[in-house]
Amino acid sequence: MKAREIRKLERSRQHKEIKAYCKKIDRAFSRLSEGCSERVTKAISLAGTRQKEVEVTAVKQNRIYYRDANPLGNKIHATQRMKLSSKPLI
């Protein structure tokens, strides 16, 4: 056998393993879902809750005097600082 055939066989073996694993998971999930109570299945299957439209709320616009004039955002740190030196009175 050539290297290409060996790789092809290896890929097919991996593919079969993945398919078998997926089938095993599907079987386990279906076994679990069969044991659901009536309340759970009723809650899941309600069409009214899934088809309910989302309420649209109006977006409140910021007032002009709250708006930041700087296009890069508020970068100015405008806080009052204590003076560290005194000026002469002359």
State pLDDT tens for residues 11-55. Answer: 999 999 999 999 998 888 777 777 667 777 777 776 655 666 777
- 14 near 7, Cβ under 8 Å? no
Q: Evaluate whether residue 89 is within a structural domain.
A: no
**Looking at residues 67-72, what average pLDDT do you find?**
65
Residue at 86 is within a domain:
no
Say how many domains are in the chain. Answer: 1
Q: What is the pTM of this model?
A: 0.36
**What pLDDT, on a 0 to 100 scale, did the predictor assign at position 38?**
75
Distance CA 27, CA 29 (A): 5
The pLDDT value recorded for residue 5 is 93
Rounded Cα gap, residues 19 and 25, in angstroms: 10
Residue 81 lies in a domain: no
Domain presence at residue 36: yes
